[in-house]
Structure 1
Amino acid sequence: MSGGTTSYTVETVKTSPFDGQKPGTSGLRKAVTVFQQAHYTENFVQAGLWAGLGDKLKGSVLLVGGDGRFFCEEAAHLIIRIAAGNGVSKIVIGKKAILSTPACSHIIRKYKLSGGFLLTASHNPGGPDGDFGIKYNTDNGGPAPEGVTNKIYELTKTIKEYKIVSNLKVDIGQLGTSKFTVGGEPFVVEVIDNTADYVEFMKQIFDFPAIKTFLQTKRVLLNAMNGVTGPYLRKIFVEEMGLPSDSCLNCEILPDFGGKHPDPNLTYAKDLVDIMKAGQHDFAAAFDGDGDRNMILGHRAFFVTPCDSLAVLAANLESIPYFRQNGVKGFARSMPTSEAVDKVAQRLGKDCYQTPTGWKFFGNLMDADKISLCGEESFGTGSTHIREKDGVWAALAWLSVLASTKKTVQDVLLDHWNIYGRNFFTRYDYENVSSEAGEKLIAGLEAFIKNPNSKGTTLTAPTGQKYKVAVADNFEYTDPIDGSVSKNQGIRILFEGGSRLIFRLSGTGSSGATIRVYVEEYVKSDNPSAYEQDAQAALGPLVAIALQVSKLRELTGRDQPTVIT
């Protein structure tokens, strides 16, 4: 690749702050047009370098990778130029700036990099009128903790200048190394293969030959949803496992995800669900834009909730060589995620931690060797192999369980419920409601939980079922490793007997508000048929109570949620 002896000069560009550059649970996400404003992306990247690296900035080595969405390459070039201007010694970047979020985490850890910028808005829509996002990950490979993201935000509110080498040009479409001289110091850009490191890692974690043998008699479908996992699916399942190429759907990375919403759930992956309903396939998985989320389906579109997926994997980790070799510590889940994994932990004598939503909260537990597996109800599952959730890993983990048990997906679940009981679970998403309506809803619920008479209150569904309130609060988390406190993480109404209602305003959207309502009911029965009823039917009375107590319909004007999972 290019090198040359040209010496580049660092420029200091005057700028002024932009409002609202506060990173959410997974970085800063806004409309593409917002990031395209002059100085907007530059300001955030500069603040990220200062906050993330501090006095270690000069001489650092950073990763850049993204999901291939619109504006990804342009942002990558800006990051390279700003990094060069700030004394970074080397940038490692995926070809055309493409690397899945799990691959980024692995590469940072494998090569002991200083950190990295991930260019993704995850499951949000892409394209010129869609969303873009930038997330800073630290040297453990995980999302920056709140101490860093809060510092980034504070810096964006006062930034007056950023440093850049505006005329530095690098061909990121070709593998290889480019060397430059910037301000008298060497600066290197290494363009790496998009899939090689990650695929090699998966071969170390799983028994590929066993999975390959299992798949020879099965028909499976893997849907990349035109996101970043396409090349990884082809490499693993077609080249390594020998599946026919038509087993992998929508594998071309498109900057607008084909005009679709790259979120692997029953609504946005309906095309996959419909194919599975025909009964011609045994297993299916879908993945989001940046590859960290997954949805698992069995024969005839039998849906595995992310909560149950986490619990089943927790109960079967010994089927995966990585855990047989490294042992199994505890488990962790985000607070809104059902308590299904808690039942597994209790039976196995393991600790189970309950954290706020956001993968960064699992990082401390992993680094302290407290947990081996963690997950969120928002289709995220992962383990200590990296510090991000990992969709392709989850699919391979499920195939490992199926290959080991020689059971169908549905039978694995039925057997699991017969042992542990079933935590019926659903989530209702009301997307793009007004921020005012969202704030009023939370304020009303705050009044409910602060009322001393709320505890012990009996709430009655229209169909007559009664639920007695045991706990009503706004979830607060004290990190057991560093002692940091995270407040106001979601309204909880917990009932006697194990049923729960959770209400949250999401931090992953780019505009308006998304209200999420989580409904859970625990059933333990000697009659196996009790576990086979439809989740929506089983949860109907609790859903009605959730809508009543929150006044959601009255405040939002919405009769139906945007998405039900």
Structure 2
Amino acid sequence: MVELRTVSTQPYNDQKPGTSGLRKRVKVFQQQNYTENFIQAVMETIEGGSKGATLVVGGDGRYYLDEVMQIIIKFSVAAGIKKLIVPQHGLVSTPAGSHLIRKNKTTGGILLTASHNPGGPDKDFGIKYNVRNGGPAPENVTNKIFDISKSLKKLTYADLPDRVDYSQIGSQKIGDMEIQVIDGIDDYVALMKEIFDFDAIRCFLQTNKDTFKLLFDGMHGVTGIYGERLFVKEFGLPKEESLMRSTPLSDFGGEHPDPNLTYAHELVERVEKEKIDFGAASDGDGDRNMVLGKNAFVTPSDSVAVIAHYAREAIPYFRKNGINGLARSMPTSRALDLVAEKQQLEHFEVPTGWKFFGNLMDAGRCSICGEESFGTGSDHVREKDGVWAILEHYKIYGRNFFTRYDYEEVDSEAANNLIQGLRDLNIVGKNFDGFIVSDVEDFEYRDPIDGSVSSHQGMIVKFKDGSRFVVRLSGTGAQGATIRLYIEKYSNNPSEYATDTQQALEPLIRVALDISRLKQYTGREKPTVIT
């Protein structure tokens, strides 16, 4: 018999989860009852009620994961949860967790991750609630969680004398609740076999093992264990030569697990030095990816466009099911739009946040989607693909030169003032070093599925030649504000396709910094990260 305890608590006023869940510094979560309050609020928000519900619970292995897992188990028992499905050691990538929710038809899941943010005692942690479609909780659910969190006065949990062990595969009972510990990789690999032609990939890699080099960087996040299963066990590649940083570590080896040219510099250097043909990196929880070759970095905006172009002929899943539509986030370059128009596919421009793609997928109107922040997905689960045919893509569609400048941990007031300054601009028709402004837009999205409206999603400054820049505040940071500046220029001049991205965009970057007054507002001479 498990004894339940009810204790008093004081609410916190800063527990509003975003699309990516609640992200804070570890020390914030370690405040008295801070994590407990949020988990209690989630339990009281579960669709259909918590009694009899089944949840998937796991995370990316970052610091503080086990402590929060134990809290979730105690509160789940008290809330009447029927069953928790827990990947072995609590390790699961975000896309694999989403698949487990869908495959097992569970009520939802709690994913413990701060994605690409750094981990460790002084770094970041995150808790994300996913609903039964496997996607992040929509805004009406996160608003309910927040409302409950602001008025909590008591907590109820199971008084368990010992830590619950989830290191061994099998089932155990805690009171009336079952905990089923599973291999967290098997189901994901099985799904990948339904999507991709594993025999063809294996044959290619083995036939060309002396001439084609592949290197996957797990960045000491959770995807290292998936990479080892796929590239070593399934495709027969040597671990030492094909994988780097594949062991999950609670602090990601002291590095920032964000797969871009700045934070994945070790991979970038090895690809260049060792003449690697195909390099790839994934972030802490496996929902972002970077692709590069020995001669080119493939921007995420290009990779999703290439995947969409070749999907029917190169990916068995799409040969069988076809493509219903394409979608990209608003800041992502318009390369995907060109593919959609040429292939006569419906396409959508949505705010940043995977939940907007989820609505379109659930309605059968989107098959492939992507964000410039290194995330590529489809209506089954996130995928990444080798895109060494990138130069052929430019010949067909032209090239969208694209870059992103990140200014991290900026003073929040200064960041908000910058956005308001852009809203107040009256510059349509003005000429800035040859770039004539055609429109200034405060992006708003009306969801074609549920009719909901998402306002103030980012400022877009458009020019008559088709160029544009976007400024938005990111909600994925755990401290201060992150300002993201996106700059895009389209060219259908083949003589420009091989031009370095920063060189091609340099005049437009100067104009964007001038119009936005970003340096003046932030006091920063240069961005934290350039991608």
CA positional deviation for 1:64: 0.2
In the other structure, the counterpart of 2:345 is 350
TM-score where L is the length of structure 1: 0.91
In the other structure, the counterpart of 1:257 is 252
CA positional deviation for 1:175: 1.1
1:200 and 1:13 mapped to 2: Cα distance? Answer: 44
Which shifted more, 375-384 or 170-179?
170-179
- Asked if 1:418 corresponds to 2:395, the answer is yes
Is the contact made by 2:26 and 2:64 (CA closer than 8 Å) also made in structure 1?
yes
- Asked if 1:225 corresponds to 2:219, the answer is yes
In the other structure, the counterpart of 2:486 is 518
In the other structure, the counterpart of 2:409 is 432
- Asked if 1:87 corresponds to 2:53, the answer is no
Is the contact made by 1:25 and 1:357 (CA closer than 8 Å) also made in structure 2?
no
Give the match's secondary structure for 1:93.
strand
In the other structure, the counterpart of 1:543 is 509
In the other structure, the counterpart of 2:37 is 43
In the other structure, the counterpart of 2:164 is 170
2:91 and 2:171 mapped to 1: Cα distance? Answer: 16
TM-score where L is the length of structure 2: 0.97
Partner amino acid, structure 2, of 1:363: G
Deviations 1:294-344 (A, max 9, x none): 0001124x1000000010001010110111111111000000000000000
In the other structure, the counterpart of 1:455 is 428
1:313 and 1:305 mapped to 2: Cα distance? Answer: 12
Deviations 1:395-423 (A, max 9, x none): xx32xxx6xxxxxx2xx111111110111
CA positional deviation for 1:73: 1.1
Is the contact made by 2:19 and 2:138 (CA closer than 8 Å) also made in structure 1?
no
Match of residue 112, structure 2, among 119, 127, 150: 119
Match of residue 56, structure 2, among 63, 83, 107: 63
Partner amino acid, structure 2, of 1:385: H
Which shifted more, 133-142 or 204-213?
204-213
1:155 and 1:56 mapped to 2: Cα distance? Answer: 14
- Asked if 1:477 corresponds to 2:450, the answer is no
CA positional deviation for 1:347: 0.1
Is the contact made by 1:221 and 1:283 (CA closer than 8 Å) also made in structure 2?
yes
2:422 and 2:45 mapped to 1: Cα distance? Answer: 35
CA positional deviation for 1:37: 1.4
Give the match's secondary structure for 1:96.
helix
Deviations 1:361-403 (A, max 9, x none): 11110000001000100000010113xxx3xx30xx32xxx6x
2:369 and 2:234 mapped to 1: Cα distance? Answer: 27
Partner amino acid, structure 2, of 1:310: V
Is the contact made by 1:48 and 1:152 (CA closer than 8 Å) also made in structure 2?
yes
CA positional deviation for 1:170: 2.1
Deviations 1:477-524 (A, max 9, x none): 010000011010000111122211100111000101111000000111
In the other structure, the counterpart of 1:406 is none
Which shifted more, 132-141 or 539-548?
539-548
1:253 and 1:173 mapped to 2: Cα distance? Answer: 15
Question: What root-mean-square deviation, in Å, do the aligned CA atoms of Structure 1 and Structure 2 show?
Answer: 1.1
1:15 and 1:377 mapped to 2: Cα distance? Answer: 41
Residues 299-318 of structure 1 aligned to structure 2 (within 5 Å): 299-300=294-295, 302-318=296-312
2:380 and 2:466 mapped to 1: Cα distance? Answer: 32
Give the match's secondary structure for 1:504.
strand
Match of residue 101, structure 1, among 85, 90, 94: 94
In the other structure, the counterpart of 2:13 is 19
Runs of 5+ unmatched residues, structure 1: 1-6, 403-408, 461-465
In the other structure, the counterpart of 1:195 is 185
In the other structure, the counterpart of 2:529 is 563
Residues 287-302 of structure 1 aligned to structure 2 (within 5 Å): 287-300=282-295, 302=296
Runs of 5+ unmatched residues, structure 2: none
Is the contact made by 2:92 and 2:222 (CA closer than 8 Å) also made in structure 1?
yes
In the other structure, the counterpart of 2:199 is 209
Give the match's secondary structure for 1:134.
strand
2:159 and 2:440 mapped to 1: Cα distance? Answer: 54
Is the contact made by 1:421 and 1:524 (CA closer than 8 Å) also made in structure 2?
yes
Identity of aligned residues (%): 54
Give the match's secondary structure for 2:89.
strand
Match of residue 324, structure 1, among 319, 340, 343: 319
Residues 335-346 of structure 1 aligned to structure 2 (within 5 Å): 335-346=330-341
In the other structure, the counterpart of 1:444 is 421
